[in-house]
Amino acid sequence: MFDSGSVTSDLNLTRQECDARGDQLKVRTYRVELDLSEAATDAQTYRSRSTVVFDSTGTSTWIDLVTDVIDSVTVNGRQVYLEDYDGARILLHDLEIGENTVVVDALCKYSRTGEGLHRFTDPEDCNTYLYTHCEPTDARRMFACFEQPDLKGEFTFVVTAPSQWLVRSNQPEVSSEPAGECTTHTFAPTPPLSSYIVALIAGPYAVVQDTWSVERADGSSQTIELTAMCRRGMLEHLESDEIFYTTKAGLDFYDRAYGFPYPWGGSSYAAPAKDRSEGRAENFVGCKYDQVFVPEYNIGAMENPGLVTFTEDYLFRGGATTMQRTSRAAVILHEMAHMWFGDLVTPKWWDDLWLKESFADLMGYQVTQEATRFDQAWLQFASGRKLWAYTYDQLPSTHPVIARIEDLEAAAQNFDGITYSKGAAVLRQLQAIIGPESFFAGARDYFAAHAFGSATFNDLLTALQPHTEHDLWRWADAWLRTTSPSELTADTSRGHGGAVTELVVRQRCTDRITGDEVVRPHQLQVAGYALGEAGLERTFLAPVTLTGESVEVPEAVGNRADLVLVNAGDLTYGIGRLDEQSQHVASTHLSSITDDLDRGAVWTALWNLTRDARIPASRFVDTFCTQAPAESNAMILRIVAGQVQTAVGHFLPAGTRTAAWDALGGVARVALAGAEPESDLQRTWADLLAEFASQTDTLAGDAAALADGKVPDGLTLTDELRWKLAASLVRQGAWDEAEVQHLLEQDNTLIGRTSSLTALAAAPQAQDETWRRLVEDELTNDAQRALLTGWGISDPGTKYAQPYVELLDSVWGDRVQSMAQRLVIGLFPDVDADDEGRAALGAIRSWYDDNPGSPAALRRIVLEQIDHAERALRAQQVTQD
């Protein structure tokens, strides 16, 4: 038996060593036996037994396991002695050249922070629930495995759990054997899987069922059993009809587009013959597609084949806006796309993380737009999601979409706006260039060639290239191996009456890493708008193929254009700039543009000018105050309102913020009163009033009245809205702990309890205690996020700058990476262009300069926060002309 005692584990894994192990090994099967019979007690560990069969061309390697206690390890029946075990790697020596069997018996820990096997006890009914999350390398916290994506194996799970519990895994259950008050469940072997997408849930989950089936033109058919699950206390909010509607729409689309049947959650499978028409596979029988919504999740969702997990934030208490429903649909369809991109064909190493995430991100929005009733998905992608990419692509830590990932910590950092939304935007541009038919034809060839294996980006290009005359290798060099967004401008000459005499579209991009000028091929559209009686009306929409530094647009000549919009319809990835005249016209007439995508693009252009310190933040705030009340699309309003709060809180000079917050409060009050009852706009303006109220005491009476139930006709006072109001009222000193406790008594649920943490932490006088809890207490993901939200509302400024610098020395070693990252970001001090702010920023810069040996992932996050702060300082110094 091995007990780790004080051994320090090195949880990092490098590309070089995993490449070598991947070349040496071929994994055949895993049998994973987990004893969860005491999960509902206060037991901290569970028994885990792994039997791994693999072939080796060498005589030594290691197997991964993160635990404190190992009872035994055998290799081909021989006992292994564990003096060298470091808490993460079990060294295996004297392997056979050929087949080997390793058996590892250990005690593994239940997680409270979302990694491995997470255990949650519901405070509402005391029921205990388990679920797994293993990406990128946390399966090793549950059982011994070869923890890298290219070493796929067939997994058989055997799980002992209380008999009244529901137990699910990637594959269907094939047998169950009662044993006292528990039952042992055995699940069918999986097709070859990477360890990071194995999945298990156990507990008294509520279940709703449905089915999807298809009869195909080639004579084949398929039926998939569908389930939606959640903890019992959230069943009334599950909205299974809508979830199944979206699920079926996605299965219809992917079955047609990918030409490869859904391959998971069935009792048998067969890899497709590579010469079969469209790569159709046989014997996908008894398939299932489970979707479970879980609490305390540390991410949004995870694509475990046959058992997809989602944060229960996607279960809406008290209804939802179109934006929320669109977001949920896009996430459901994103995870479903992974059943093919990522699960069926898996990246060989984390360099090609984008190869699954970019495709899934694109598909999530595209399929939502094209196959469901949520027809504002492209708007959400263009106006919201892509801003994540633009932000990350302008940071000093930017990287190409195809990045060189040297180790696991670097991989965890690259789950970012570039890997997801820039990659998705670039792939959308690829569809615009080669056409969706060629795009999906290449995808079908890719799946047929690499099903149940691992692949690289070169494999994908090889599959796509025969379907287009465009040189995709050159395209990839320009788009995927360079950094920084292109800046797109329209140089417009106007003559009599504002008619265009010449319009030239230009691109400019300097790669932030290399310093090289980058010229990319763009397929885009340019739109012109003229002021008329009804406001701005579109006068032309011209397709543009931009392959060099510039191109003329003859279709624009002769048309009046008071406002010119580059990248109308959002076909390409690039920051579109507005000329001075277009900026002026937008600031007074933006809300009159009838096309939602174009109106959203103009808002995005104004925002990018603001955050890039090209125009004063006050101009963006003024535009919001005049144009937002007439905004007809609640999704655009919600997105832009987040931007205006950043503009006021960070980009305006400190001395002007109070007046700006007061102005926003007045706008929200009037707009809410005039909003159509029961509309998305009414609900959105109510949310905004609650948020603005945290920063202006002019809304204290309005917020208190809403919290007391005095709402406009048609507005539902949801729990979410009441807690937002509570946080603002506490921030302004209008409520204290007693009022928060009274509200909690009315909503004594998990969500109510975490929301109360936010409300109490919003009090400026609570900052010391909030800091202590964040830094010292063992918190769940939900509790940490709630406290950080309240911390931000309380507006601590630079008060804790020195403790923050001191925290950086220990934060990475004391916590799991995801929670450490949240602290580094969430506790970074807000700096202003004054002596205090510059001193705080200088101290953090000094820490960065003086600690080159600190973990690279930590240094990257600190550098990014410094860059954000410097951007804010630049914006504060831009004044009105």
Distant-in-sequence, close-in-space partners of 544: CB < 8 Å, separation ≥ 6: 505, 522, 523, 524, 525, 526, 551, 553
Tell me how far apart the alpha carbons of residues 689 and 763 are, in angstroms, rounded to a whole number: 18
Let me know if 279 is exposed, middle or buried by CB neighbors in 10 A (0-12, 13-18, 19+): buried
Task: Say if residue 2's pLDDT is above 70.
Answer: no
Q: What is the pLDDT of residue 167?
A: 98
* Structure-block tokens of residue 7: 């051994």
Nearest C-alpha neighbor of 230 from the set 92, 120, 374: 120
Task: Say if residue 81's pLDDT is above 60.
Answer: yes
Q: What is the pLDDT of residue 280?
A: 40
More confident residue, 129 or 817: 129
Radius of gyration of the chain (CA): 28
Distant-in-sequence, close-in-space partners of 206: CB < 8 Å, separation ≥ 6: 229, 230, 231, 232, 234, 235, 238
Mind listing the pLDDT tens digit for each residue in 750-792?
999 999 999 999 999 999 999 999 999 999 999 999 999 999 9
Q: Provide the 8-state DSSP code for 549.
A: S
Residue 730 DSSP SS3? helix
Mind listing the pLDDT tens digit for each residue in 212-231?
999 999 999 999 999 999 99
Say which amino acid occupies 620. F
Mind listing the pLDDT tens digit for each residue in 865-880?
999 999 999 999 997 6
Mind listing the pLDDT tens digit for each residue in 558-584?
999 999 999 999 999 999 999 999 999
Nearest C-alpha neighbor of 599 from the set 631, 552, 643, 574: 631
Q: What is the pLDDT of residue 406?
A: 86
Tell me how far apart the alpha carbons of residues 563 and 577 are, in angstroms, rounded to a whole number: 11
Provide the whole-model pTM.
Answer: 0.95
The angle formed by the CA atoms of residues 145, 147 and 151, to the nearest 5 degrees, is 90
Mind listing the pLDDT tens digit for each residue in 699-717?
999 999 999 999 999 999 9
Q: How far is CA 641 from the centre of its chain?
A: 21
DSSP 443-487: HHHHHHHHTTEEE-HHHHHHHHGGG-SS-HHHHHHHHTS--SPPE
Task: Give me the chain's average pLDDT, please.
Answer: 94
Provide the pLDDT confidence category of residue 881 given band limits of 50, 70 and 90.
low
Q: What is the pLDDT of residue 8?
A: 43
Residue 166 DSSP SS3? strand
445 and 274 in contact (C-beta within 8 Å)?
no
Say which amino acid occupies 580. E
DSSP 114-135: SSEEEEEE-TTT--EEEEEE-T
H helix or E strand, kind and range, residue 207: strand 206-215
Question: Which domains are assigned to the chain?
Answer: 2-203 (2.60.40.1730), 206-479 (1.10.390.10), 616-717 (no CATH)
For the stretch 797-835, what's the b/e string if a residue is b when 16 or more beta carbons lie within 10 angstroms of its beta carbon?
Answer: bbbbbeebbebbeebbeebbbbbbbbbbebbbbbbbeee
Percent of the chain residues past pLDDT 90, beyond the cut: 91
Evaluated on CA atoms 15, 16, 21, 23, the torsion sign reads positive
Length of the chain: 881
What is the longest distance spanned by two Cα atoms in the chain?
Answer: 91
Mind listing the pLDDT tens digit for each residue in 594-627?
999 999 999 999 999 999 999 999 999 999 999 9
* Structure-block tokens of residue 105: 């018996």
* Structure-block tokens of residue 624: 């919001």
Q: What is the pLDDT of residue 267?
A: 60
Task: Say if residue 318's pLDDT is above 90.
Answer: no
Q: What is the pLDDT of residue 9?
A: 52
Distances, alpha carbon 194 to alpha carbons 153, 160, 357, in Å: 7, 23, 16
* Structure-block tokens of residue 705: 């009245």
Residue 401 DSSP SS3? coil
Mind listing the pLDDT tens digit for each residue in 365-424?
999 999 999 999 999 999 999 999 999 999 999 999 998 888 887 887 778 999 999 999
48 and 103 in contact (C-beta within 8 Å)?
no
694 and 734 in contact (C-beta within 8 Å)?
no
Tell me how far apart the alpha carbons of residues 215 and 220 are, in angstroms, rounded to a whole number: 6
The predicted model gives 687-697 an average pLDDT of 97
Task: Say if residue 276's pLDDT is above 50.
Answer: no
First to last CA, the chain: 74
452 and 423 in contact (C-beta within 8 Å)?
no
Task: Say if residue 269's pLDDT is above 60.
Answer: no
Other Cβ atoms within 10 Å of 469 Cβ, number: 8
* Structure-block tokens of residue 584: 């002026």
Percent of the chain residues past pLDDT 70, beyond the cut: 97
The predicted model gives 790-813 an average pLDDT of 96
Provide the pLDDT confidence category of residue 6 given band limits of 50, 70 and 90.
very low
What region does 333 belong to: left with phi over 0, alpha with psi -120 to 50, or beta? alpha
623 and 586 in contact (C-beta within 8 Å)?
yes
Catalytic annotation on 335? yes
Tell me how far apart the alpha carbons of residues 817 and 810 are, in angstroms, rounded to a whole number: 12
Q: Indicate which residue of 115, 135, 239, 335 is catalytic.
A: 335
What are the DSSP E strand ranges found in 11-136?
Answer: 25-35, 45-56, 61-64, 69-75, 78-79, 89-92, 98-109, 116-121, 128-133
Provide the pLDDT confidence category of residue 322 given band limits of 50, 70 and 90.
very high
The predicted model gives 501-505 an average pLDDT of 98
What region does 65 belong to: left with phi over 0, alpha with psi -120 to 50, or beta? beta
Tell me how far apart the alpha carbons of residues 81 and 690 are, in angstroms, rounded to a whole number: 61
Q: What is the pLDDT of residue 286?
A: 75
Tell me how far apart the alpha carbons of residues 564 and 559 are, in angstroms, rounded to a whole number: 11
Q: How far is CA 10 from the centre of its chain?
A: 27
Mind listing the pLDDT tens digit for each residue in 144-179?
999 999 999 999 999 999 999 999 999 999 999 998
Q: What is the pLDDT of residue 412?
A: 78
Q: What is the pLDDT of residue 319?
A: 78
146 and 62 in contact (C-beta within 8 Å)?
no
Nearest C-alpha neighbor of 224 from the set 288, 290, 307: 288
H helix or E strand, kind and range, residue 432: helix 423-434
CA atoms within 13 A on the CB side of 396: 13
Choice among 255-259, 350-354, 666-670 with the minimum mean pLDDT: 350-354
Task: Say if residue 279's pLDDT is above 60.
Answer: no
Task: Say if residue 533's pLDDT is above 70.
Answer: yes
Tell me how far apart the alpha carbons of residues 707 and 725 are, in angstroms, rounded to a whole number: 6
DSSP 263-314: -SSSSB--PPPTTSGGG-----BSEEEEEEEESS-SSSEE--TTEEEEEGGG
Nearest C-alpha neighbor of 58 from the set 13, 15, 21, 17: 21
Residue 615 DSSP SS3? coil
